[in-house]
Amino acid sequence: MSVYWFCASVGLVGKWIMTMPFSTPGIIQAVVCTLDFRTGILWIILFFVDLVIALPFFRAYDAQLVKEESGEN
């Protein structure tokens, strides 16, 4: 949200002008609610940044579960 807010405040992407149901896919919601395709591009970039940040935590948790299943503590 902070990255979007900064980009919107300096005019890089459109500002949020309407809301849609929560069940609308994120990228569609970003583009339609701002009426700016650049917001969709920002959404895609931030989505992959989030994945890169979260991946080590997912792997660590998976390794922990594998260790517990094999009986090692």
Q: Is the pTM of this model over 0.85?
A: no
pLDDT at 60: 97
Interval 4-57: pLDDT, tens:
999 999 999 999 999 999 999 999 999 999 999 999 999 999 999 999 999 999
Find, among 72, 7, 69, the residue nearest to 42 by Cα.
Answer: 7
Contacting residues for 29 by C-beta, under 8 A, at least 6 apart:
20
